Every structure is written in C-alpha cells, then in structure tokens.
Amino acid sequence: MTARAQSWHALRPVSSKMPAVMPLTLDTPTAAELPTLVEIWEAAVRATHHFLPESDLQVIKPLLREQYFPAVQLTCARAESGRILGFLGTSEGMVEMLFVDPACHGQGVGKQLMRHAIDALGTRRVDVNEQNPQAVGFYQHLGFVVTDRSRLDGGGRPFPILHMKLARA
C-alpha cells in the first residue's frame, strides 16, 4: 500500500485494573469490529494526547474508518473473553498506528502487538508524536531510535513527529 495512515500512539503508566501479563490472541478484526477500534482510538488519544484539541479529534475520528484503517494491515489483541484490548496498523514496514484501551495501558498489550509487528510483519519504522513522551520511551525501550524529526504531523498540524527506526531486532 502506498497510502500512509496518520500515526498516533498511545501509552500511559501501569494500571492496576488488569494483571501484569495477560494471555492475548492476535488476529485481524472484522468489519463489524471497526467501531470498537474507533472507540479504543478515542479513549487512548484522550488519555495520552492532551496536546491535541477537541476539534482535531473530531476531524480525525471519521477518517479512521474512511481512510486510515483501509490503508493499513490491522491486527487486534484480544483477551481470552474475545474483547479487543488494543490494535495495530502497519504498512510497508512501518507501524502506522498503535492504540491500547487505557484500562490496559502498561499491561503488555502494546508490547505484544509491537513484537508481532517486528517479528511477524517485519516492521522496522514508526512515527510518534514528540509531545507523547510515554510513547517515545516505549518505542525506545523496544529498540527504536530517533532518526529524524518533522515539525508538523501528517495532517499539517503543529505537532512535531519523531521518525524512529529499529536499531536492534
């Protein structure tokens, strides 16, 4: 695919709501589950992207289903119950989106999705909002290093983007 989805990433400190390590199933969400992904995206963005104005959230939200989801390979992480806890979107060796339900932040969901992206899908690059230091630290912990910086995000908004590449597998 040549289209790149908007990169927004979500992480926050450990939650005491779930166990530290949980068994997850990774699979492709169905079309009927896309509204759940939008709900997870919105909750995660509201929990981590405090710099993003409400007006931008409302502009981006419909674009998820219309443009961004179709432009990526989606993978969701499910609890044993089947509930989707987070999702990943990749395209052409790049993580385009990673969002985890805020109730599950810090519980290994994002890490398992990223290990899948790296090991099974061969992704080696990710863009992350500079104003989301938890996400920057998360990717650095996984072996990504900053290779460049853009002063505007993919939508031309004044939210700097750090371009990161995997330094180790």
Q: What is the pLDDT of residues 34-83, one digit of tens each?
A: 999 999 999 998 888 777 888 888 888 999 999 999 999 999 999 999 99
Q: How many residues does the chain have?
A: 169
> Which strand ranges, in their side-by-side order, compose the sheet holding 25-27?
25-27, 73-78, 84-91, 94-100, 125-129, 161-166, 144-150
Q: What is the pTM of this model?
A: 0.83
Task: Name the residue with higher pLDDT: 1 or 44.
Answer: 44
Domain architecture of the chain: domains with CATH = 25-123 (3.40.630.30), 126-168 (no CATH)
Percent of the chain with pLDDT over 90: 65
The residue among 18, 15, 13, 12 whose CA lies nearest residue 80 is 18
pLDDT digits (tens, 9 = 90+) for 111-156: 999 999 999 999 999 999 898 888 999 999 999 999 999 998 888 8
